[in-house]
Structure 1
Amino acid sequence: MTDRTTYTYTVLRYVHDVLTGEFVNVGVVLFLPSSGTVKFKTRSTIGRLKGVFPDIDRKAFVRAMHAVRRALQGVARNEGPPDLFTDVQDAATIARKALPLDDSSLQWSPSGSGVTADPGQALERIYARFVSRYDCPPRHRRSDEDIWRPVRRKLEEKNLAQRLQEKSIHGEVDDIIFKHAWKNGQWHVYEPLSFDLADADGIKVKAREWLGHLAAVVAGGDAERFKPHFIVGAPTDPKLTDAYRTALAILERAPNSPEVFEETELDTFVARIEDEVRAHDAEQDSRRHDGSRSY
């Protein structure tokens, strides 16, 4: 059976502002009391700190981290197996030999503990949990404008983009401003909605907000006649598909019977706009032609 040994660990924190207490983890020290072994891993670059704290002094941080690593190397060399006269120590005690407790921006966390058969693997696991897991840049989530951009390009190709204008629909209770609209007896209004959000609740809330907007404008029956059309972007996280489908159902049941197109239906959506605009123009031309002939 593989021998397992107890270890303790402490996390090195970069505290940017002692008043707010905001910090980012930048390193880990692991200590095995039975053998006196000290292992550590620290951030070697400024990483995501610049994004979290834009005013961080990069040179000062790099110098400080270099000094901590050098001091930890010295502590690791000097530690050894405990004897009868050695006080029981934990990782935080060992780490403070390299970086004493003071009011600087680098601080040690209280010690944690565990049991492992592979101390090196344990160090990597703890580092990944507390430090490197936050290194991935935040994933770009598409905005409403991102969803509209390919629509605009296709409308421009068909010389139709200029036909759409901003329109404010005034109701008895509320108003809604649509950036893309045109009139053919009633107003046709088009709204891009990105549901590429972080969680299911956010997706449903956004759909419910639009349900509320439309209901507030339609309430009282004083609003101009208008037909809503939504083109929607799906979440990239497949775990949010159910919430997305619920959001579509909420939109489809909103007042004025909105038409909802998914971004995969982009060509159909643009073709619908084109057909309606061309039919309107043809009807107007026919009326003008008939009027001139009757004269």
Structure 2
Amino acid sequence: MTPYQYVLLRLVPRVDREEFINVGVVLYAQASGFLDAAWELDDTRVAALFPGCELDGVRSMLEHVRAVCHGDTGPGLPRLDRPGQRFGWIIAPRSTVLQPGPVHGGLCADPATELQRLLGRLVRIA
């Protein structure tokens, strides 16, 4: 079993109201060097809860997080060599529309499979 840490990515369109919905998960398993993000943005749900929310901008921010996970570099992306550094950057508190929740932990056999399980359990509405 591999230990891991994860955070939920929260969409917080109005920071002053502190209302949010979970839109993604970032999972880091240090022992295997795994760091990745998965997200699902339900346009209908977001529009019902937060009319006027700029969905294309939110998608761009979510892709930005995924790029950081993968160690991509370029304009607006940090230059961080190790997955642990990138996870630390992602989980740092921000006062923006896309915010990380608290860090949680667990054990799994396969981090990629666990990432999808967490997405299904904590983000998707069944």
* TM-score tier (shorter): 0.7 to 0.9
Alignment partner, residue 22 of structure 1: 19
Alignment partner, residue 82 of structure 2: 79
Kept in 2, the 8 Å contact 1:6–1:115? The answer is yes
Structure 1 segments unaligned to the other structure (5+ residues): 81-88, 137-295
Paired amino acid for 2:60: H
d(CA) in 1 for partners of 2:103 and 2:85? 7
- In the TM superposition, what is the alpha-carbon distance from 1:90 to its structure 2 partner? 8.7
- In the TM superposition, what is the alpha-carbon distance from 1:95 to its structure 2 partner? 1.9
Paired amino acid for 1:126: L
Q: Which has the higher contact order (CA 8 A, sep 6+)?
A: 2
- The TM-score, its normalising length taken from structure 1, stands at 0.36
- Write out aligned runs for 1:89-128 (5 A): 89=84, 93-96=88-91, 101-128=93-120
Distance verdict in 2 for CA 1:127–1:91, change over 3 Å: farther
**Cα deviation 1:253-281 (Å, max 9, x = unaligned):** xxxxxxxxxxxxxxxxxxxxxxxxxxxxx
Distance verdict in 2 for CA 1:7–1:106, change over 3 Å: same
RMSD: 2.5
Pairing 1:63–2:57 present: yes
- In the TM superposition, what is the alpha-carbon distance from 1:26 to its structure 2 partner? 0.7
Specify which of 98, 121, 125 is matched with residue 129 of structure 1.
Answer: 121
d(CA) in 1 for partners of 2:104 and 2:94? 21
Paired amino acid for 1:75: C
Distance verdict in 2 for CA 1:47–1:32, change over 3 Å: farther
- The TM-score, its normalising length taken from structure 2, stands at 0.76
- Bigger radius of gyration: 1
Structure 2 segments unaligned to the other structure (5+ residues): 72-80
Q: Percent identity at matched positions?
A: 26
Aligned residues, how many?
117
Judging by fraction of residues, say which structure has more helix. 1
Alignment partner, residue 39 of structure 1: 36
Distance verdict in 2 for CA 1:74–1:56, change over 3 Å: closer
Kept in 2, the 8 Å contact 1:13–1:27? The answer is yes
Higher mean Cα deviation, 12-21 or 104-113? 12-21
